[in-house]
Chains A and B, each alone.
Chain A
Amino acid sequence: MLKLLIIEDDVAAAASLKHGLEESGYAVELAHDGESGLQQARDGDHDLWVIDVMLPKRDGLALLKMLRDEGRRAPALILSALGKVDDRVNGLRAGGDDYVVKPYAFVELLARIEALLRRARSLSSPETVLQLADLKMDLLGRAVTRAGQEIDLQPREFDLLEYLMRHAGQVVTRTMLLENVWEYFFDPQTNVVDVHISRLRQKIDKSFSPPLLHTVRGTGYILRMEP
Chain B
Amino acid sequence: MSGIWLAVSLLVLAGAAYWLARRRQQNLALLRNRLVAVTQSVRQTGDNIAHDLRTPLTRLRADVEAALRQEDGKVHRAALERVLDEIQGMQNIINALLALGQAEAGGMRVKKKTVDLTGLLMEMIELYAPSAEERQLTLKGRIDPNLTIEADRQLLARILSNLLDNELKYVPAGGLIMLSAAARGDKLEILVEDNGPGIPEDMRDKIFERFARLDPSRTVSSGAGLGLSLVRAFARVLQGDARVIESSLGGAAFIVTLSTSAADVSRPAP
Q: Which chain A residues have a beta carbon within 8 Å of chain B's beta carbons?
A: 83-86, 89, 103, 156, 182, 184-186, 188-192, 195-196, 199, 218
Contacts and interface: CB of A to CB of B under 8 A. Distances in A.
B180 interface: no
Contacts of B168: 190
B130 A186 contact: no
B164 A190 contact: yes
Contact of B126 (A85, A156, A185, A188): A156
Main SS of the interface on chain A? loop
Contacts of B111: 86, 89
A93 B154 CA distance: 18
A195 B154 contact: no
A130 to B, nearest CB: 23
A184 B161 CA distance: 10
Contact of B98 (A83, A156, A185, A195): A83
Contacts of B223: 189
Contacts of A156: 126
A61 to B, nearest CB: 16
Sorted nearest first, the 7 A-B pairs with minimum C-beta distance are: A195-B130, A189-B165, A188-B161, A195-B131, A86-B109, A190-B165, A192-B131
Interface of B: 81, 84, 91-92, 95, 98-99, 102, 107-109, 111, 123, 126-128, 130-131, 134, 154-155, 157-158, 161-162, 164-165, 168-169, 222-223, 227
A103 B164 CA distance: 26
A105 to B, nearest CB: 8
Contact of B161 (A86, A89, A186, A199): A186
A86 B265 CA distance: 13
A218 B99 CA distance: 25
B108 A192 contact: no
B232 to A, nearest CB: 17
A84 B81 CA distance: 28
Contacts of A189: 92, 162, 165, 169, 222-223, 227
Nearest to B84: A218
Given A156-B126, A188-B164, A190-B131, 13 more contacts: A84-B108, A85-B155, A103-B91, A182-B127, A186-B158, A188-B161, A188-B165, A189-B162, A189-B222, A192-B128, A195-B134, A196-B127, A196-B130
A186 B131 contact: no
12 contacts: A83-B95, A85-B108, A85-B155, A86-B111, A186-B157, A186-B161, A188-B127, A188-B164, A189-B92, A189-B223, A190-B165, A190-B169
A103 B128 CA distance: 27
A196 B132 CA distance: 11
A182 B123 contact: yes
A84 B162 CA distance: 18
B130 A84 contact: no
A93 to B, nearest CB: 12
Contact of A199 (B84, B98, B127, B130): B130
Contacts of B99: 85
Nearest to A194: B131
Contacts of A103: 91
Contacts of B84: 218
Contact of B128 (A83, A190, A218): A190
Contact of A218 (B81, B91, B95, B162): B81
Given A190-B164, A218-B84, A85 B123 contact: no
B161 to A, nearest CB: 5
A185 B155 CA distance: 10
A192 B155 contact: no
Nearest to B91: A103
Given A84-B102, A189-B223, A192-B131, A184 B154 contact: yes
Nearest to B110: A85
A188 to B, nearest CB: 5
Contacts of A195: 130-131, 134
A184 B134 contact: no
A189 B95 CA distance: 12
A185 B127 contact: no
A190 B109 CA distance: 26
Contacts of A83: 95, 98
